[in-house]
Structure 1
Amino acid sequence: MSDQRLPTSPGFWRSPLRGPWFTSVLGLVLLAGITVLFVTGLVSYAAYNPGLSPVNDQTPGKGLLGFYLFTWPTRPYWLYRLTQGVHVTLGIALIPVLLAKLWSVVPRLFALPPARSLAHALERISLLLLVGGGLFEFTTGVLNVQLDYVFPGSFYPLHFYGAWVFFAAFLAHAALKTPAALRNVRGLRERPRAEGDLRSPRPDPPTVSRRGALWLVGGGSLLLLGTTAGRDFDGPLRRTALLAPHGGAEPGGGPGGFQINKTAAYAGIDPAETGDEAWRLVVTGRTGIVRLSRADLLRMPLNSAALPIACVEGWSTSDQWWRGVRLRDLAALAGYDDAPDVLVESLQRHGAFRRAALRANQVRDPLSLLALYVNGEELTPDHGHPARVIVPAAPGVLNTKWVARLTFGELR
């Protein structure tokens, strides 16, 4: 008889909650939720227009995993706010379900022998990839949402490759286990305990029912949902987003009182470069090089657009009123009747996305602006003074601040 004091013994695990029904319910919830997470993650990848490589996507060696099916649209203008909001909020809300699921199956991670056959060995390896990949993806995702970049390397490729490893193991596991999970959930009574069963052979007295435990897990998910989701809405709900980046309150008031990820000081912006006398926007295209001062831009037709900023971290602003020169008008100034792709370069010295590329459809959209004002006032230094790009439905990092140069035409 195995030593009951060791985790390799079934008798070591005494909780009466573990069993096929409890594990199957959690597994089916994760089956639906993680599928949505993977799809919205692919959507987020597409929103960066990775075909504009190597400017927007510098993921090394992605090969077939970096397939790119379509150009990211600009309408509806709140599209990225919705898709990335679902991705991040759902990911956070699923954390209690994931932890409960891992807790329910932890005895299998210690089961001996490690492999009874080749098929069993492959199943154990896929289980390790599933557990390790899941913990990696959720952990890096939460750290990124909270702006804690403590992981080695860039979040973008780490999360990208981790997602493919995790989802491949997840699909294999789902194909093997979903039929049995459905039978377990439908069953009116539990079968007698068999070899390898998750139920303990000598359970402790129950202190809560399995349905009660599920209510506890569900309550934890609802709590996380309620303290995160508000960042994707306007109005009073924003004040409930206590766990979202920047908390539930708006940073200050006035026309510039909305979220800022990178301040001018963090980005290394020298105030001497952004003064009206010193700053010039360099526009390059068929007509050669044109240098425009802020006064030159103000003499061009100005247009307004009410657009949010939505970031990969899952937060978004409410709609802000931007006013400036349409990007397609600047493309016309550079000699293009039909606006092409554009490379946008910033004055910033620190941080990612000092250069960003936009597709022609984004440049041509009448709501896409080189903004000079927001909410009736000049841009503040932290919001990109003297000029920033604002594009409908684009990830926040593509709405480049402190713009120095626009290069229209084929990107190389």
Structure 2
Amino acid sequence: MDVKEHFRSPVRGPRFTSVLGLVLLVGMPVLFVTGLLSYTAYNPGLGPPNDRTPDAGLLGFQLFDWPAGPSWLYWLTQSVHVIGGFVLIPVVLAKLWSVLPKLFVRPPVTSVLHALDRLSLLFLVGGTLFELATGVLNTQLAYWFPGSFYRLHYYGAWVFAAALAVHIATRFAKLRRGLRDEGGEELRAVDPSEETISRRGAVALVGAGSFALFAVTAGQAIGGPLRRTALLAPRGGADPGPEQNGFQINKPAAVRGITARDTGEGWRLSVQKADGGTVRLDHAQLRAMTQTTARLPIACVEGWSTGNQDWRGVRLTDLARLVDAGADDDMFVESLQRTGAFRAVYLRANQVRAGLLALEVNGKPLSLDHGYPARIIVPAAPGVHQTKWVTRLTLGRPA
């Protein structure tokens, strides 16, 4: 008996597969583009430690210098990327189910072109599943990777994009025919079983699955009362109390090896030029400088946001003037933290002009977990660049 005769669902057919394919044709490129925007927001052109793909070669190009505004820019692009990834999971699974009979077509390869086509599908399906799986694990803070998530996810995205381009070039006409329910005989059941759900009902079921995933993940990005609906998100639930400044923490001080002793009376902020002198300031001296208030969010690569908070501190440009730094000087920011990535980052000159060294938030001193005694706040920058427990600022690029 033909193996295909085991697949008897009347739902399978060219139109059902093509409708799902059309959704993915729109959605997956959006994920790829927003992923590239996230990469650009890390300012890889500044090199390590910002760039986590130093061996990327031609794949490591930077689209443009990431702007320091509007303040919600990174929140928007990364929220679309992460939430969109969750929403498309049911569509991807349904699409793979719909074309499962084609896996058993015999002979498996009929020509060189057919072999290349099947090879591109292997990379497309593998790349899609790899990107979705690693993305979900990252949002769940489950770093079960044989290396850096940043690097693996980035390279996987390019494998997926190349395979998708080949797939679109070779299958777009077939997609158009499938939407008219033409062709695709290899997908239709030879001996269909009794219908238990219509194809429209199956599409609606997939849509309901996507909406359910949206409902239990989007709240961590939207914030406010909706944060409690983010049942599958580590940053869901109620906001912490006033002792934690009233909003979500990414990594607490203990996880990063920070103690109260590190941030006590002996703490000093060093401000220096790469080729010049150094100014050292204690907390009281920083508070004696002109203070500026800004209402800004922190948005993280995992897709969650603190929402807007009222930050108060010293403008980075005021600190740069203490060492006669120029308006076009980048800034190298170093933290007291002893463990984890991004213990130091570069900020571009446009970010320096827009950023604060925050000492307070929401009218109170920073809690230790939120970066006391001082942290960086820059509009539209990824959360990992909003460095906590700052100890040194270096203006200009080291030789």
**Worse overlay, 311-320 or 201-210:** 201-210
1:333 corresponds to: 322
Out of 107, 116, 132, the position equivalent to 1:138 is 132
The answer as to whether partners of 1:284 and 1:406 remain within 8 angstroms in 2 is yes
SS at match of 2:99: helix
1:175 corresponds to: 169
Can you list the C-alpha shifts for 1:188-222, whole angstroms capped at 9, x where unaligned?
A: xx45774xx11121222111011100000001111
- Gap runs ≥5 in structure 2: none
1:315 corresponds to: 304
SS at match of 1:282: strand
- The alpha carbon displacement at 1:337 in A equals 4.2
Rounded Cα–Cα distance in structure 1 between residues aligned with 2:211 and 2:199: 18
1:406 corresponds to: 393
The answer as to whether partners of 1:306 and 1:322 remain within 8 angstroms in 2 is yes
Can you list the C-alpha shifts for 1:77-100, whole angstroms capped at 9, x where unaligned?
A: 110001101110111011100110
The answer as to whether partners of 2:48 and 2:54 remain within 8 angstroms in 1 is no
Alignment of 1:220-231 (within 5 A): 220-231=209-220
- The alpha carbon displacement at 1:109 in A equals 2.3
TM-score (norm 2): 0.96
Rounded Cα–Cα distance in structure 1 between residues aligned with 2:112 and 2:54: 33
Can you list the C-alpha shifts for 1:153-175, whole angstroms capped at 9, x where unaligned?
A: 11100000000001111111122
Q: Is 1:83 the counterpart of 2:77 in the alignment?
A: yes
The answer as to whether partners of 1:325 and 1:369 remain within 8 angstroms in 2 is yes
1:115 corresponds to: 109
The answer as to whether partners of 1:332 and 1:339 remain within 8 angstroms in 2 is no
SS at match of 1:271: coil
Rounded Cα–Cα distance in structure 2 between residues aligned with 1:141 and 1:193: 32
Alignment of 1:154-173 (within 5 A): 154-173=148-167
1:287/1:24 CA distance change after superposition, 3 Å: same
Rounded Cα–Cα distance in structure 2 between residues aligned with 1:393 and 1:411: 25
- Gap runs ≥5 in structure 1: none
- The alpha carbon displacement at 1:310 in A equals 0.1
**Worse overlay, 229-238 or 378-387:** 229-238
- The alpha carbon displacement at 1:69 in A equals 2.7
The answer as to whether partners of 1:240 and 1:248 remain within 8 angstroms in 2 is yes
2:293 corresponds to: 304
The aligned amino acid for 1:138 is L
The aligned amino acid for 1:375 is N
The answer as to whether partners of 1:267 and 1:351 remain within 8 angstroms in 2 is yes
Out of 359, 373, 378, the position equivalent to 2:360 is 373
Rounded Cα–Cα distance in structure 2 between residues aligned with 1:233 and 1:193: 42
Rounded Cα–Cα distance in structure 1 between residues aligned with 2:279 and 2:338: 23
Can you list the C-alpha shifts for 1:300-319, whole angstroms capped at 9, x where unaligned?
A: 11111111000000000111
The answer as to whether partners of 1:290 and 1:334 remain within 8 angstroms in 2 is yes
* Identical-pair percentage: 61
1:278 corresponds to: 266
The answer as to whether partners of 2:4 and 2:104 remain within 8 angstroms in 1 is no
1:191/1:40 CA distance change after superposition, 3 Å: closer
Out of 80, 88, 91, the position equivalent to 1:97 is 91
Q: Is 1:64 the counterpart of 2:52 in the alignment?
A: no
Rounded Cα–Cα distance in structure 2 between residues aligned with 1:208 and 1:257: 48
Can you list the C-alpha shifts for 1:126-180, whole angstroms capped at 9, x where unaligned?
A: 1111111110000000000111111211110000000000111111112222222
Q: Is 1:12 the counterpart of 2:6 in the alignment?
A: yes
SS at match of 1:372: strand
Q: Is 1:361 the counterpart of 2:350 in the alignment?
A: yes
Can you list the C-alpha shifts for 1:330-359, whole angstroms capped at 9, x where unaligned?
A: 111111242510000101011110011100
Can you list the C-alpha shifts for 1:38-84, whole angstroms capped at 9, x where unaligned?
A: 11011101100110102200314201111113110011111000110
RMSD, aligned CA: 1.5
Aligned residues: 398
The answer as to whether partners of 1:331 and 1:339 remain within 8 angstroms in 2 is no
1:237 corresponds to: 226
